[in-house]
Amino acid sequence: MKYLISPHKKQYKANLHCHSILSDGKKTPEELKAMYRDHGYSILSITDHERPHCHSAMDEDDFLLLTGYECYIRPDPNARYNRYAKEVHLNLFARDPQNTTMICPNKPYMKYILRDNAMDEITAWTGSDRTREFTREYINEYIQTARDAGYLVAFNHFYWSMVDENDVLGYDGLFSMEMCNYSSYVTNHLEYNGMLYDKLLTHGQRIFCHSTDDNHNVYPIDHVENDSFGAFTMILPEKFAYASVIDAMEKGEMYSSMGPLFHEVSIEDGRLHIECSPVAHAFVFTGSKKPSYFHALPGQTATSIDLAVDPEARYVRVCIEDAEGRKADTRGYFPDELV
């Protein structure tokens, strides 16, 4: 038997995309930590725009803050926002919590650091400071520079970014992509990117998936448009420590969810077994036109499901969906990982 999600490993709930008053969020880092801890999370990454910052002073035995930030690249050389234009946003997660290296510094993108005169927050500056270019070549250069500086690089909110599938297929070095970005999902209900993820897997890209809030908290927690607590990532590290959590993320020991939970996913003799919270539907995507699937009868749910795996599967990815339409997704596993 091969475990894709082991029942023997503890799962930790994480929000890996979040904004505070250090950029354009409405909550302080301390308020964000408190509200996520109160809602059962164990891991938070406050990824303010173009402002790397170490929040590890707020760590506790049962709560970790991952160092990171969100960068962006726009067609406009002055970095002006255009709601009809393409742009690329990347989240950078530092392997070392003290690493706050600024990648390819470019003044039009540094308004939050300059606003608060916060240059001393940066431990290093690296990469070209030339005007950022909205080209595949520049974006790949940026990704490689970030990786060389000790970051894991993730692709954010595909639908909101308005880029094309072929654009994303041309980006090299991404370790994961956002399956659901809840802040965007609240406003459009389209920012669930299962179709894009399957396209990447079909083209052989070994990229993982995760989901995030990307919350700014413009609205109160109890408001229908609040963007907190709607999408998250469950991480399965060997132990609850910063380096182990980052290692688990880099190895894909995590899954994406908008609500449902996997307790076990295993594969043996061409059958896939799922133990999970109550769900109405389950799918095993393999790159074919017709995945294996399960549908509960109307008004019913299931917590234990067995499905066949196509012996010609290009990859295996499991998706479960609860009665409210909320999904959870494993990453894609390729044939050499299933033996």
Q: Under CATH, what is the fold of the domain 8-258?
A: TIM Barrel (3.20.20)
Tally the residues of the chain.
339
Which pLDDT value is given to residue 46?
98
Which secondary structure element, helix H or strand E, spans residue 254, and what is its range?
strand 254-257
Which pLDDT value is given to residue 278?
98
- What is the 8-class DSSP label of residue 120? G
Which pLDDT value is given to residue 208?
98
Rounded Cα distance between 306 and 127, Å, is 49
Every domain of the chain and the residues it spans: 8-258, 262-339
Same fold for the pair 8-258 and 262-339 = no
- Structure token digits, residue 292: 């294996």
Amino acid at 142: Y
Q: Under CATH, what is the fold of the domain 262-339?
A: Immunoglobulin-like (2.60.40)
Amino acid at 52: P
Tell me the pLDDT of the chain (339 aa) as tens digits.
Answer: 999 999 999 999 999 999 999 999 999 999 999 999 999 999 999 999 999 999 999 999 999 999 999 999 999 999 999 999 999 999 999 999 999 999 999 999 999 999 999 999 999 999 999 999 999 999 999 999 999 999 999 999 999 999 999 999 999 999 999 999 999 999 999 999 999 999 999 999 999 999 999 999 999 999 999 999 999 999 999 999 999 999 999 999 999 999 999 999 999 999 999 999 999 999 999 999 999 999 999 999 999 999 999 999 999 999 999 999 999 999 999 999 998
Q: With left for phi above 0 and alpha for psi between -120 and 50, is residue 106 left, alpha or beta?
A: beta
Residues 6+ apart with CB under 8 A from 190: 159, 184
pTM over 0.95: yes
Using the structure block, give the residue that is written with the tokens 């070095």: 173
**Are the C-beta atoms of 65 and 41 separated by less than 8 Å?**
no
Which pLDDT value is given to residue 329?
98
Which pLDDT value is given to residue 47?
98
Residue 41, phi then psi, degrees to nearest 5 = -85, 155
